[in-house]
Amino acid sequence: MSNASSKQIAVIGAGLMGAGIAQVSAQAGHPVVLRDVTEEALQRGLAGIRASYEKFVAKGRMSAEDAEAALGRITTTTDLGAVSEADIVVEAVFEKLEVKEGVFRELDKLAKDGAVLASNTSAIPITRIAAATQRPESVVGVHFFSPVPLMKLVELVRGYKTSDETLAAARAFAEGVGKEVVVVNRDVAGFVTTRLITALVVEAAKLYESGVATAEDIDTACRLGFGHPMGPLETADLTGVDILLHAARNIYAETQDEKFAAPEIMARMVTAGDLGRKSGRGFYPYEGK
C-alpha cells in the first residue's frame, strides 16, 4: 500500500493514543517510527497494535497480508534522535504543558527543516506548546480521538503562528489515514470538542454530586433526550475521570469560566483512585467486567 505520497511519520509516546496513531499511519502506507522512553512501553504499544490488526482481520476489515505489511512498516526506538528523518512528528505524551514543552524543545533541535510538528493534545493551547520552539509556524494541533483506529474525527488546531502550509500538510495526513477533519481556527483552551464534553461532564457530575439524579438517569436522559450514543458520566469513565478533571482544570485556569470549575466529587474520585473503567470503578463499578 506504500505509495509516492507516503511520508515518514514519527510518533512520540507509545501509549493508547500514540500506538493508535502509529497503527492508522502504518495501515495507510506510511513508514512509522514509534518512540517511547522504555522498551517495555514500546512492547506494550506494539502488542496493542498487533491485537487490533488481528481483530480487523478476524472481522474481514483487513487482509492478513495487509496487517503483516502494516506491522512491518513500524519500527520502535527509545532514541528521540530517530525523528530526524520524519516529515511529520506527532507527539502523544502525557497531557501536561511542561512535559509537552520539554518534548517540543527537543524536537525543535532534532527534526529536519520543514517537518510538521504536531501535538495530539486535547486541551492545551497550541500557541503555548509552539512557543517552546524556534519554529512556531511548523507546530499544529492534531487531536485524534480514542480509540484512534475506530473514531473518525480529528480536530486540527491552528496555533497563533501556525502557517497555512503546516495546516494543509496536517490535513492531508489526517484525511490520508481515513479521518474526517474539523478545523479550530483559534486555539482556545479545550478547543471545540473538549470544551463541549468537559462542560457537559462537569454539569452532570454536579447534578450527581448534589443528589438531583442518579448517574444512570443522567446518562439515560442524554442518550434518549439528545441522541448521544453515551451519557456524560459513562463518557467520563471511558475517557478517565482523571483526564477530564485535568482538562477541566486546564480550561478553567485559562478562562476562569465557572462552568469548567469541576465539582469536588471528581477530585475526590481521582484521589481515591476511582478513575473509571481503567481502574475498575468510576461513576459506575466495572469489577469483573
Q: What is the pLDDT of residues 171-225, one digit of tens each?
A: 999 999 999 999 999 888 888 998 999 999 999 999 999 999 999 999 999 999 9
Is the pLDDT score of 268 beyond 60? yes
Give the pLDDT score at 187.
86
Do 35 and 92 reside in the same domain of the chain? yes
141 and 239 co-located in one domain: no
Kindly list the distances between the CA atom of residue 12 and the CA atoms of 34, 41, 126, in Å, as whole numbers in the listed order.
6, 12, 17
Tell me whether residue 59 is annotated as binding: yes
* Residue numbers of the domain that contains 39: 9-184
Residue 112, marked binder: no
Has 122 been labeled as part of a binding site? yes
Residue 288: which pLDDT band, with cuts at 50, 70 and 90?
low
Structurally, the chain folds into a number of domains equal to 2
CATH number at residue 152: 3.40.50.720
The pLDDT score that the predictor gives to residue 6 is 82
Cis peptide, bond prior to residue 125, ω within 30 of zero: no
Same domain, 65 and 180: yes
**Banded model confidence at residue 4, pLDDT cuts 50, 70, 90:** very low
Would residue 282 count as lying in a domain? no
Give the count of alpha carbons within 13 A of 289, CB side only. Answer: 10
Domain shared by 30 and 162, yes or no: yes
Q: Does residue 280 belong to any structural domain of this protein?
A: no
The pLDDT score that the predictor gives to residue 287 is 76
Residue 3 has pLDDT above 70, yes or no: no
264 and 171 in a common domain: no
pLDDT at 254: 87
| One domain for residues 211 and 180 | no
Examine residue 126 and state whether it is found in any structural domain, yes or no: yes
Q: Which of 159, 184, 209 is the last residue of a domain?
A: 184
Cβ 270 vs Cβ 245: under 8 Å:
yes
- Residue (of 238, 254, 138) closest to 190 by Cα position: 254
Q: Is residue 142 part of a domain?
A: yes
Pair 180, 226 in one domain: no
Q: What is the pLDDT of residue 67?
A: 97
Q: HSE of 36 in the Cβ direction (CA atoms, 13 Å)? A: 22
Query: What does the pLDDT look like over 60-84, one tens digit per residue?
Result: 999 999 999 999 999 999 999 999 9
209 and 170 in a common domain:
no
Say if residue 150 is in the same domain as residue 216: no
Same domain, 165 and 198: no
- Of 144, 162, 184, the residue at which a domain comes to its end is 184
- The answer to the question of residue 2 being in a domain is no
Question: First CA to last CA across the chain, in angstroms?
Answer: 38
Domain boundary among 142, 163, 184: 184
30 in any annotated domain: yes
In a domain, 117, yes or no: yes
What is the average pLDDT across 252-260?
Answer: 93
CA 212 to CA 234: how far, in whole Å? 17
Q: Taking the CB of residue 56, how many other CB atoms lie within 10 A of it?
A: 18
In the predicted model, what is the mean pLDDT of residues 99-113? 97
- Strand ranges across the sheet with 88-91: 74-77, 32-35, 9-12, 88-91, 116-119, 139-144, 153-158, 180-184
pLDDT exceeds 90 at position 289:
no
Q: Is residue 284 part of a domain?
A: no
- Asked if 139 and 39 sit in the same domain, the reply is yes
Instruction: Please say if the pLDDT value at position 104 is more than 80.
Output: yes
17-52 pLDDT per residue, tens: 999 999 999 999 999 999 999 999 999 999 999 999
> The domain that contains 198 carries what CATH number?
1.10.1040.10
- Whether 117 and 164 share a structural domain: yes
Q: What is the pLDDT of residues 118-152, one digit of tens each?
A: 999 988 889 999 999 999 999 999 999 988 999 99
For the chain, give the mean pLDDT.
94
